[in-house]
Structure 1
């Protein structure tokens, strides 16, 4: 616990007018610490620095800290971020450190955006969040505000964060604020989203925590700030958003399999159905990946006793899609008299999403695993990522796009529609006719009627 009283003004419990508090925040009088400088944390810290002029970013990776202090952006694919990082560092609005307690000692506002891990059974693991909170507690003082942006199971702020901070700091719980303000950003548009592509949700463990969070994000976000009843409600909003998308995608994936029997394009049917304002069906695909949607349902399933059959079934359906995608290729080979054993298959796209170097829960692993288990020789390519081990571990040979062009294949499976694949002459890759093409992202539909191509498209005519 800190033994000093900071001269910087506080927002939590302040008797100053709202205008005076806003001026203190935006003039740099109130120091801010942002814990976690990853793909969402660095954009958030940079925007905070741009608005407040006084931010310390904390990260455990010395290379990240060194780069930020040099004005460098280590996040790929975020428009405007490199320029913003360089600008705020140059004017002294942002610096970085690996010393969490030192950052906490100096700050009045503490913003946490670190990963919530899951264990081998998909149960949420709050150890990283708790570790950061312990560092914050070492420098926490009366009047400080702690904001958690990391997605967590509902009740985390109430049952974990606030008690931990009070116990470790020695402060009475009523002496500091805790609020949950979920990040609502997507890779590739983080700055735009943080500045206000959507309303910002804020919810505190008490009314004063909510008020302070609303004031802070009123300066960060140009959209409406929506204060909800409490931190638990705010936590649930974020988890519910992810669950909605997972369940909706599962429905679309299940409808895809019905469309196969109906001999129709489910994508055409979905697009037509969505012209009705009460319908918002999502798009089927080769699988659901990333650090969000595949995990958020487990923040409810694993943590609470309420019936979760729909969420569990949706997870099961979406988890089957990589295998389903691979089976389309294998059945296509068999249909045309080609042995799956020893067949040559090219897998296009390894990241979970186009343009984003993120491999967590990527469906490409499951696709490759099923193909190699059937005896296929799998070549894989993705110009977005330099990480090959997860795919090599399940039997793929990962090559460059230029190398892939020099080879011939019995089947091509598109898992992720990277921009670089748009110029790829897929018919020229055929070892012989027909080349089996499985389109997992509705990106190769122009090949449906191409001579020498046997096309299977998830969501088109699967």
Structure 2
């Protein structure tokens, strides 16, 4: 058993005091909490925990992140209200930050882990970051502590990986501490709103007491309903199922787009009309599915279990082809007007996977650039949201500023991500000659459909 200094603080797991007394201790700052991972989702979560409980230590491996938070500064861009909240909770001593995970664990009674889980080059889930953090937690784990995992993981991770690891490395019996999975249901750009209760909060423990403590914790954090499920594995499946649903639905919309082209109709109009039926909820097609969530979560089932996954596998394949499909619309448009792909100047608008969010994981822009450059096009790319250029330059693009774009001329323009700054861009003025091929990957340039000198191709729009 750990000699952790947290033993003097009130325990939540296995305590014989009343729930009301535990709640008062939690909100009164008597229960120290450690939040491991201070990234896009972790810092907002740590800040809300600090605001509610007044006693949070945030842990991150990046010294620069810890230094900025310790100074009351928010390093996450594009999260309304987060800078003010970070400054406020740091100023009143409710939130501190450190790189020393095991030290924070020794002081904490509640351990909340929210670090990335990605896939390796073979699309298999990579739990190395989660496992590393759990080793730090185990080093300071005490009887009566509660461990919460918010990171999206393959189902059975809490049962088969987290709990056994904590027990083995802490020396505690499994029944002496709690483990629950409480998936984050948060989107970039609205993290505080989501954490505080935009959606019901799912909680599931590896035993009934773990679930009870998780309900208690998130009942104070969230204003929305707390939904306890049978166990941690069910809670893990809920989060993965949500991502799989979106991936499969988007794949269906992308496939329907190609049928709509042959039918010479607008798939968007058809989808909008179909969705007036309450049993239909078709998503919107686009240039590709990116980010750190949807492209990865299906693999948490496909790669880890033996059940038939043909639908998920096919959906991944369909969505992975959309960047190439988008680029092909530009190349076929050039060919239609007698222009060779080789040597044509093509502008790619948007590099981040989503508008307004500096996130490049699995961004469709990469596949678009690779296909265009592979066809011999001279590719220029721009995105005012990100400062990262090297991966796209390696793929064959010349990444420039928006001012530089306005000075250039192009044979084709491909919109991948509809950044707000592009709204003021006079696209017709960018034409090297008539017509300028415009590929609209996000239905954001529809006003150009009938513009003189524009050959418009929109994903989801027959033109």
Please classify the TM superposition score into its range, dividing by the shorter chain length: over 0.9
SS at match of 2:294: coil
Q: How does 1:354-433 map to 2 (within 5 A)?
A: 354-433=355-434
SS at match of 1:185: coil
Deviation at 1:160, TM superposition (A): 0.2
Residue 199 of structure 1 aligns with which residue?
200
Once the two structures are superposed, residues 237-269 of structure 1 have per-residue CA deviations (whole angstroms, 9 ceiling, x without a partner) of 000000000000000000000011001110111
Q: How does 1:31-180 map to 2 (within 5 A)?
A: 31-180=32-181
Structure 1 contact 368–395 (Cα < 8 Å) conserved: yes
Deviation at 1:211, TM superposition (A): 0.2
- Go from structure 1 to structure 2 and tell me whether the alpha carbon gap of 1:38 and 1:4 turns closer, same or farther (over 3 Å shift): closer
What is the alpha-carbon distance in structure 1 between the residues aligned to residue 360 and residue 126 of structure 2?
19
Runs of 4+ in 1 over 4 A off after TM superposition: none
Deviation at 1:4, TM superposition (A): 4.5
What is the alpha-carbon distance in structure 1 between the residues aligned to residue 327 and residue 19 of structure 2?
59
Q: TM-score, normalised by structure 2?
A: 0.99
What is the alpha-carbon distance in structure 2 between the residues aligned to residue 60 and residue 222 of structure 1?
31
Q: CA RMSD in A?
A: 0.7
- Go from structure 1 to structure 2 and tell me whether the alpha carbon gap of 1:276 and 1:123 turns closer, same or farther (over 3 Å shift): same
Residue 3 of structure 2 aligns with which residue?
3
- The answer on 1:249 being equivalent to 2:250 is yes
Q: How does 1:254-273 map to 2 (within 5 A)?
A: 254-273=255-274
Structure 1 contact 243–311 (Cα < 8 Å) conserved: yes
Once the two structures are superposed, residues 389-442 of structure 1 have per-residue CA deviations (whole angstroms, 9 ceiling, x without a partner) of 111011100000000010000000000000000011000000000000000000
SS at match of 1:378: strand
SS at match of 2:8: coil
Unaligned 5+ residue runs, structure 1?
Answer: none
Q: How does 1:184-223 map to 2 (within 5 A)?
A: 184-223=185-224
Unaligned 5+ residue runs, structure 2?
Answer: none
Once the two structures are superposed, residues 367-396 of structure 1 have per-residue CA deviations (whole angstroms, 9 ceiling, x without a partner) of 000001111000000000000011101110
- The answer on 1:342 being equivalent to 2:343 is yes
Q: How does 1:18-37 map to 2 (within 5 A)?
A: 18-37=19-38
What is the alpha-carbon distance in structure 2 between the residues aligned to residue 368 and residue 69 of structure 1?
40
Q: TM-score, normalised by structure 1?
A: 0.99
Once the two structures are superposed, residues 199-219 of structure 1 have per-residue CA deviations (whole angstroms, 9 ceiling, x without a partner) of 000000000000000000000
SS at match of 1:281: coil
Deviation at 1:117, TM superposition (A): 2.5
What is the alpha-carbon distance in structure 2 between the residues aligned to residue 99 and residue 338 of structure 1?
59
What is the alpha-carbon distance in structure 2 between the residues aligned to residue 404 and residue 121 of structure 1?
37
What is the alpha-carbon distance in structure 1 between the residues aligned to residue 42 and residue 301 of structure 2?
25
Once the two structures are superposed, residues 183-236 of structure 1 have per-residue CA deviations (whole angstroms, 9 ceiling, x without a partner) of 000000000000000000000000000000000000000000000000000000
What is the alpha-carbon distance in structure 1 between the residues aligned to residue 337 and residue 143 of structure 2?
73
Once the two structures are superposed, residues 273-294 of structure 1 have per-residue CA deviations (whole angstroms, 9 ceiling, x without a partner) of 1111110000000000000000
What is the alpha-carbon distance in structure 2 between the residues aligned to residue 340 and residue 36 of structure 1?
45
Structure 1 contact 117–128 (Cα < 8 Å) conserved: no
What is the alpha-carbon distance in structure 2 between the residues aligned to residue 210 and residue 187 of structure 1?
27
Residue 235 of structure 2 aligns with which residue?
234
Deviation at 1:15, TM superposition (A): 1.1
Residue 288 of structure 2 aligns with which residue?
287
Residue 311 of structure 1 aligns with which residue?
312
What is the alpha-carbon distance in structure 2 between the residues aligned to residue 293 and residue 41 of structure 1?
19
Residue 302 of structure 1 aligns with which residue?
303
What is the alpha-carbon distance in structure 1 between the residues aligned to residue 106 and residue 19 of structure 2?
25
Residue 324 of structure 1 aligns with which residue?
325
Structure 2 contact 74–83 (Cα < 8 Å) conserved: yes
What is the alpha-carbon distance in structure 2 between the residues aligned to residue 298 and residue 80 of structure 1?
34
Residue 450 of structure 1 aligns with which residue?
451
Deviation at 1:2, TM superposition (A): 2.4
Deviation at 1:339, TM superposition (A): 1.1
Structure 1 contact 71–87 (Cα < 8 Å) conserved: yes
Deviation at 1:460, TM superposition (A): 1.0
What is the alpha-carbon distance in structure 1 between the residues aligned to residue 449 and residue 272 of structure 2?
19
SS at match of 2:131: helix
What is the alpha-carbon distance in structure 1 between the residues aligned to residue 310 and residue 3 of structure 2?
51
Deviation at 1:133, TM superposition (A): 0.4
Deviation at 1:68, TM superposition (A): 0.3
What is the alpha-carbon distance in structure 1 between the residues aligned to residue 261 and residue 344 of structure 2?
25
What is the alpha-carbon distance in structure 2 between the residues aligned to residue 117 and residue 370 of structure 1?
25
